[in-house]
Copies of this chain bind each other. A is one copy, B any other.
Amino acid sequence: MKRKVTLKQIARELDVSISTVSKSLRNSPEISEDTKLKVQAFAKLYNYRPNNIALSLKNKKTKTIGIIIPEIVHHFFATVISGIEQVANENGYNVIVCLSNESFDKEVINMEMLATGSTDGFIMSLSKETQQKKDFHHIEEVINQGMPVVMFDRITNDVLCDKVIIDDQRAAYEAVDFLIAKQFKNVALVTTVDYVSVGKLRTDGYVNALRDHDLPVEDDMIVKIEDIENCASKIEKLLLEKKPDAIFAVNELFAVTSIKLATKMGIRVPEDLSVIGFTDGIISQFSSPSITTVSQNGIKMGGRAAQMLIDRLELEEENEQYTTELIETHLVERESTSTL
């Protein structure tokens, strides 16, 4: 087993100083050609690579981005990571991933952990608990320490930082508008509880779309789901009592669940009921019928977030101007909406 070779070892072997070795490898004009060649050859032979940790300590830069997200077994978050990783990689950055599992405490612990030197900045999406508690001191803190933070998807306006989101309200509006244009009169909504920021915004979009078309907004047509495990009865009740001709669901899971329940109740999709979901993930593509959905490009979102963070990291002067970037969405039409 041959351990990693260091400048010191090369210096000793070649009987020169450490500085000479370092300068030779960085091709400094201070060093004679002879020595440079000798050192470079030796370094190549022993496959010398500068130690990242030592560099990080010296430069006070880790070239590492911390990602903190609620969960990773989730198509959208996975695509965002993928987008981040790609841009990060192109810029010589690594990504270190921490999961909050929707827990406020874990989010705090993870941030503090990574903030003590491990990363140069953060890209994060808030956990449900954090959104509920509205406690963002851990985020304020790292920002105060000079570490840039970029928030995406589940954000808060209470923290000043760069953000990347989709225009949830507008996307929802357009989805509902699409349904109304198809002459559906009883469009129901299956959404999350209000403290989930994106759920709230999509709900708002739904309401606005109905209002703008002078359609009634009935509370009974809106199902707010807290826990996916126990949502069946609520949706069944909706289908049974309100007999909607279309459903807008604020995520894939709600959409596919609605379809499954409807099918079980003898309601055909899309003949008797049209359904639009949100997030163009695996489920929408592969379920039967495949689901018409609002596509939010996670790769692009992650990529933009990473680029914003890196831009800020590599800007030497502080820039107090924060921006919120909107990633465009579009409706992917599939089988779950009738074509009439």
Judge whether A2 is part of the interface by a CB distance below 8 angstroms.
yes
Chain B positions within 8 Å of A81 at CB level: 72, 97
* Total copies of the chain: 2
Smallest CB–CB gap between A208 and chain B, Å? 30
- Whether B78 lies near A74 (C-beta < 8 A) is yes
Confirm or deny: A82 has a beta carbon within 8 angstroms of a beta carbon on chain B: yes
A45 close to B (CB within 8 Å): no
Does A17 belong to the interface (CB within 8 Å)? no
Contact B94 A95 (CB under 8 A): no
* Cα of A89 to Cα of B98 in the assembled complex, Å: 9
Chain B residues near A53 (CB, 8 Å)?
Answer: 53, 56-57, 62, 117-118
Contacts A3-B145, A4-B145; is A94 near B75 (CB within 8 Å)? no
Interface assignment of A23: CB less than 8 Å from any CB of chain B: no
When chains A and B are docked, how far (Å) is the Cα of A51 from the Cα of B115? 9
CB-contacts of A53-92 with B (<8 A): 53-54, 56-57, 62, 64, 71-75, 78-79, 81-82, 85-86, 89
B-contacting residues, A237-267, CB 8 Å: 253, 256, 259-260, 263
Smallest CB-CB separation from A255: which chain B residue?
B286
Contact A72 B62 (CB under 8 A): no
Looking at A1, A4, A98, the one whose CB has the most chain B CB atoms below 10 A away is A4
Which residues from chain A sit less than 8 Å from chain B, CB to CB? 1-4, 47, 49-54, 56-57, 62, 64, 71-75, 78-79, 81-82, 85-86, 89, 94-99, 112-118, 141, 144-146, 253, 256, 259-260, 263, 281-283, 286-289
| Across the A-B interface, the 9 shortest Cβ-Cβ residue pairs | A288-B288, A52-B117, A49-B116, A53-B117, A51-B117, A96-B96, A73-B78, A53-B56, A256-B286
A-B contact pairs, 21 of them (CB 8 A): A49-B115, A49-B116, A50-B116, A51-B116, A52-B117, A53-B56, A53-B117, A73-B75, A75-B282, A85-B97, A94-B114, A95-B96, A95-B97, A96-B96, A97-B97, A253-B286, A260-B286, A263-B288, A282-B283, A286-B286, A287-B287
